[in-house]
Structure 1
Amino acid sequence: MKRTEWASALKSTRGQYKEWQSDPDLVIDPHREQGEVNEPEDVTEFDHPLKQSEQSVWYKYFQDNEILHEIEKDVHRTFPHLHFFQIDNPDDTMSGRLIQNEHYRSLRRILFLYAKLNRGISYIQGMNELLAPIYYSFATDPDTEWKSYAEEDAFWCFTNLMSELRDNFDKSHDQAINGIQERMKVFNNILKMKDPALWLDLESKQMNPQFYSFRWITLLLSQEFELPDVLRIWDTLFSDEKRFDQLLYICTAMLIRLRKDILAADFAETLKLLQTYPPCDVLEIIQFSREIAHPDYYYSPPVQEEEQEGEGGTDGIEDSE
């Protein structure tokens, strides 16, 4: 698309989003349907809250409520510590409890509309974690005009991202070339090639890559780091045409960074370490991942530490601390 066409394209997509949000066929209200019927007994006979037919407006309404309930639960767990998603309740300041804010409502509307438009996949836990950084980027734009369209623009960017990640959330595609199981297998093979000793240690502990890398890969590391660091990683990924290959190298760099700790740990300690990744300099990890991606890269511990290999080894890169 030419730059001169951006304005008209934005106007079109933003308008389409608003139309969908007000479309009665997407956002079902059975009470509105009842109001269009003259005889109350017709509503009871033809359609009522207990009817289980997929054609029933009430049935669709309750199905939608189930989806909304799942979305609500996950949205409230999205970056809860971030002030951006928090508003103090003026009626309950002593308890420190928080009420839902406008940004959470935007996330909910986006996710619900996506679920309605994509019935094959609907909503699956974790989508909220992918949407939040996108929405945050638009909603904090210094340009007030762009910020005012944060919800509309975030919806379309999220939709485009999901078109590339859809197979990660679809169990029927787990074994496909873009499925999550296949991606984890490729990730494990990269580690085996780049650092055989570390790979062998994890294998000996029966540390299945699924125990930690499933979340890393599916959610693009959005739960492993603070939001500013997630955005730095995503800048790297989205600027790379082979973004998902690069993601696997970043994951490999994360493992090698913890090499010394992993080699010295037992199964439980290793699992805790990888499921709660310690703070680090993500720019350092990104740079190291580029080195790993080079075909000739092969990790070798420093000569003076080779003798310690059996007792713990060393990090692939220096700790940020």
Structure 2
Amino acid sequence: MGGFSKVTNFIFDSLRGSDSATQQRPPSEMADFISDAIPGLKINQQEEPGFEVITRIDLGKRPEVHRRQPVSIEEWMKNMDSEGRILNVDSVKQMIFKGGLCHALRKEVWKFLLGYFSWNSTREERANVQKRKIDEYFRMKLQWKSVSEEQERRNYRLRDYRSLIEKDVNRTDRTNKFYEGQDNPGLILLHDILMTYCMYDFDLGYVQGMSDLLSPILYVIENEVDAFWCFALYMDQMHQNFEEQMQGMKTQLIQLSTLLRLLDSEFCSYLESQDSGYLYFCFRWLLIRFKREFSFQDILHLWEVMWTELPCQNFHLLICCAILESEKQQIMEKHYGFNEILKHINELSMKINVEEVLCKAEAISIQMMNCKELPQAVCEVLRLENSAVTTPDSDTGEDETVGDISCAAPAHPVVSNGTKESTEQEAHTIATD
């Protein structure tokens, strides 16, 4: 994973015009560079054992999709009874998925979307939850607040967590008014919540990139305790991305490759020919859920849409597919190699139209769900049922052929497993400037 950091740092050097990047590395050298930096990673996916055969099938016509205006306060209130219960949860989630929320609602509705409040809870029940969570939060906060300098000198992990947090807080969304300037109250809250999270989950502690996940939540919630618990619940979803073994990242790269192969085997073959078949240029997208790819306001909209968990599981992977599909023509027509693909994807940051991407991703999801012959591997990624195609289990070794074009999806790709220290100090610098 440290290799991903080095690759990203190389690209950032290129964008800044650093002397270290004045000599463009040829793709073959960069492939060797990644192989050396990430022991065990096989760059070439072709003809590797243990691959499931996924065949290209006719997905049918892709539908045209339209989005609606954000959910208004009036619409939200119409779906709430006199005691504060949400009446038609499925309908509300559908509206949020199709249009997001007006900003005035986010402070309340995000707590439902992230699971802090139950959808069928009353106002009184929610107030009781908050009272309990206040006590629990400040007990944990007191734990690190009361550690003496002498104790901290003997606790290298707490010391390292604090150092990383202080470093990251000082460079997280500093152009946003909520966090700009010195001694900003928002920065203090960001720091304190992250330190308290280390007490909540000391085994994981703090890993670079987590400040990016907290920042929008704190900005919206505007309350230290509620923001902490919403962040902790979001981290429950994202936890595997930051663990030492990076199992979440491995799994998502496999799943993304599976989906993209079904959608466009030609593009996958091209990426493989340029030593880019493992889609590691999407690493930052997946690690912090596009936080660095869209404007701050757009990421608020994108996250609340994804938190509905509609229209299928792993919708964020279809967003990746939608972005890559939009960039395919330029990448292939200009014959981009390894370096150029990495550079091009990094330069998309802040240039992607969130509404266009959401429309395309939703259209892809409908196209797949309407297809009666989806490979089982794709059904599993999207957690769809009733596929008309029966594909073999990965351990049977048997292949199934539908149509005349087959393409391989990696069953067990290898991503570097570093030490806990190298993971925290090196790998996730990919999510920092």
Q: TM-score, normalised by structure 1?
A: 0.71
4+ runs deviating over 4 angstroms: 241-244
- Residues 106-255 of structure 1 correspond to what in structure 2 (within 5 A)? 106-139=189-222, 150-172=223-245, 174=247, 179-240=248-309, 245-255=314-324
- Measured in 1, the distance between the counterparts of 2:203 and 2:295 equals 32
The number of equivalent residue pairs is: 247
Query: What are structure 1's unaligned runs of at least 5 residues?
Result: 32-48, 50-55, 88-98, 140-149, 298-321
Distance 1:287 1:238 in 2: 16
Shift of 1:81: 2.3
Rounded to whole Å, the distance in 2 between the matches of 1:260 and 1:241 is: 29
Cα pair 1:237 1:243 within 8 Å, conserved: no
Code of the residue aligned with 1:216 in structure 2: it is W
How far does the alpha carbon of each residue in 1:116-162 deviate from its partner, in whole angstroms, 9 at most, with x for none?
A: 221211111110111111111112xxxxxxxxxx1111100010111
Q: Does 1:72 align with 2:192?
A: no
User: Match for residue 43 of structure 2?
Assistant: none
1:275 equivalent in alignment to 2:346: yes
Deviations 1:205-234 (A, max 9, x none): 111445322211110111111111111110
In the alignment, does 2:386 pair up with 1:291?
no
Of 128, 134, 139 in structure 2, the residue corresponding to residue 8 of structure 1 is 128
Alpha carbons 2:257, 2:279 under 8 Å: kept: no
- 2:216, 2:300 within 8 Å by CA — same for their partners in 1? yes
Cα distance, 1:122–1:17 mapped onto 2, change above 3 Å: same
**Residues 28 and 57 of structure 1 are in contact (CA less than 8 Å); yes or no, is this contact kept in structure 2?**
no
Cα deviation 1:168-216 (Å, max 9, x = unaligned): 1113352xxxx21011111011111101222221111111445322211
* Contact in 1 for aligned 2:290/2:299 (Cα 8 Å): yes
- Aligned residue type for 1:3: T
Could you tell me whether the CA contact under 8 Å between 2:293 and 2:352 is conserved in 1?
no
**Residue matched to 1:29:** 147
1:258 paired to 2:327: yes
Q: Could you tell me which residue of structure 2 aligns to residue 101 of structure 1?
A: 184
1: CA distance between counterparts of 2:157 and 2:325? Answer: 45
Q: Residue 319 of structure 2 contacts residue 358 of structure 2 at CA under 8 Å; is this kept in 1?
A: yes
Q: Which amino acid in 1 is paired with 2:202?
A: R
Q: Which stretches in structure 2 are left out of the alignment for 5+ residues? A: 1-117, 372-433
Match in the other structure for 2:77: none
Question: How big is each residue's C-alpha offset from its partner over 1:44-94, in whole Å with a ceiling of 9 and x where there is no partner?
Answer: xxxxx5xxxxxx67513x54232111111111121122232112xxxxxxx
Q: Is contact 2:218-2:227 (8 Å) kept?
A: yes
Identity of aligned residues (%): 26
Contact 2:169 2:187 in 1 (8 A): yes
* Cα deviations by residue, 1:234-255 (Å, 9 ceiling, x for unpaired): 0111011677510000011010
Taking only aligned residues, the RMSD between alpha carbons, in angstroms, comes to 2.2
Q: Distance in 2 between matches of 1:165 and 1:63?
A: 21
Q: Distance in 2 between matches of 1:281 and 1:57?
A: 46
Q: Is the partner of 1:256 in helix, strand or coil?
A: helix
**Native 8 Å contact 2:173 2:179 kept in 1:** yes
What TM-score do the two structures reach when normalised by structure 2? 0.53
Higher relative contact order (Cα pairs below 8 Å, separated by 6+ residues): 2
CA distance in 2 between counterparts of 1:242 and 1:151 reads 32
> Equivalent of 2:154, from 51, 59, 65?
59
Secondary structure of the residue aligned to 2:207 is: coil
- Decide which structure has the larger Cα Rg and report it: 1
Question: Helix, strand or coil for the counterpart of 1:172?
Answer: coil
